[in-house]
Amino acid sequence: MIIYQNKSLKPYNTFGIDVNAAQFVEVKTAEEIQVLCRSFSLSERKFLVVGGGSNLLLTSNFEGMVIKIELKGLDITKEDENHIWVKAMAGEAWHDFVMFAVDHNYAGVENLSLIPGCVGAAPMQNIGAYGAEIKDTCDHLFAIEIATGNLVKFTNAECKFGYRESIFKNEAKNKYIIYSVVFKLNKNPRLNTSYGAIKQTLDTKRISAPSIKDISNAVIEIRKSKLPNPKELGNAGSFFKNPEISNEVFDDLKLKHPEVVGYPTSTNMTKVAAGWLIEQCGWKGKVVGNTGSHKNQALVLVNYGNATGQEIWDLAMAIKESVYLKFGIHINPEVNIV
Ligand code: EPU
């Protein structure tokens, strides 16, 4: 295990922000992580764990240790008539794991095709798209407790999943490094095609009885048409979460803007599409210096080349303020700001 000094983080974040880490290390085994926890007293130092770096905005040099997770492996751990349990190591690319499931006809994660990032980061923010979330298939996971170096099991319930939330973003923040995730996938699939765009894509292709692969292909096509490829244009997917507002506030909004996009989340709350709010404020496709809001999806902020993290943050705050001034609604970042 080599500890590098003053390493550029540009290749390790999908926004492509060029800042340095004071120290940088790649870890490939539990033992290497345990050495950092036990002999290097990680819990007493400043550190940042990075998987694919796809949900991260770096605003300045990082004056601590960046730990890049390179734990690899996919294994079937259990099987019964209806289900199969697949253990994916934290450093596996999320999409490679999804393709493994799709190619073997194991259902449950096909709607989450082509999401950037690594398996270990997926439970942190309960990744979700097109009507599915990781909480629907994550059976349990193992994480290394930083204070002790011990491997600890978290059941699905113990992960406390919510909309882009988990225990690892709240009370367990900076206390664990996710090591592996065990998914319970379905051998007799119940496919989820309820999301409008999936249905439309399948209809266009005249597919009435879709396979797991058909759904995955539809999701890949939709994502490619809407979301910029971080390898071509720096971005971190949705920059903000979709805000939840009371039905009263939503009804009021609908009176003024009948076309507003919202989905009920409980009997008295509605989730509003932040992309719609941002577009209404005139940001969609707007270029501000080296940054901007993407032309196909206003919720995605992009780096057109040499943006600093601070420039992207300034744009985000200007967008947040204008949405608040126009609608009285607070939108909050989904990405981790460091
Ligand atoms: N919309 C606009 N203008 C825009 C963007 C969206 O009016 O510029 C409207 C659309 O017309 C649509 C609605 O907003 O009616 C929702 O748009 P979309 O289906 O693109 O989904 P989203 O709510 O903006 C969420 C996730 C995405 C995920 C999609 C698809 C969040 C914060 N984002 O976006 O996740 O891919 O649903 O399920 O929940 C991510 O988290 O990085 C991400 C890309």
What's phi and psi for 214, nearest 5 deg?
A: -60, -40
Domain ranges of the chain: 3-69, 74-186, 234-337
pLDDT in tens, 216-254: 999 999 999 999 999 999 999 999 999 999 999 999 999
pLDDT in tens, 102-133: 999 999 999 999 999 999 999 999 999 999 99
Cβ of 294 closer than 6 Å to ligand 1, yes or no, is no
- Given this model, what pLDDT does residue 218 score? 96
Q: Using most ligand atoms within 8 A of CB, pick from 125, 165, 296, 299 the residue to mutate for ligand 1.
A: 299
* Element spanning 249, H or E: helix 247-256
pLDDT above 90 (res 195): no
- Given this model, what pLDDT does residue 189 score? 84
Among 116, 111, 121, which residue's Cα sits nearest to residue 88? 121
How much of the chain exceeds pLDDT 70, in percent? Answer: 100
Cβ of 52 closer than 6 Å to ligand 1, yes or no, is no
Task: Give the C-alpha separation, 99 to 86, whole Å.
Answer: 13
- Given this model, what pLDDT does residue 101 score? 98
CATH fold label, 3-69: 3.30.43
CATH of domain 234-337: 3.90.78.10
- What average pLDDT does the segment 69-83 reach? 97
- Given this model, what pLDDT does residue 110 score? 97
pLDDT above 90 (res 191): no
- What average pLDDT does the segment 8-33 reach? 98
Active site residue 164: yes
- Given this model, what pLDDT does residue 333 score? 96
The architecture that CATH gives domain 74-186 is 2-Layer Sandwich (3.30)
Across all residues in the chain, what is the average pLDDT? 96
Residues 63/23, Cβ–Cβ less than 8 Å? no
Task: Give the C-alpha separation, 211 to 213, whole Å.
Answer: 5
Task: Give the C-alpha separation, 324 to 304, whole Å.
Answer: 26
Task: Give the C-alpha separation, 323 to 242, whole Å.
Answer: 12
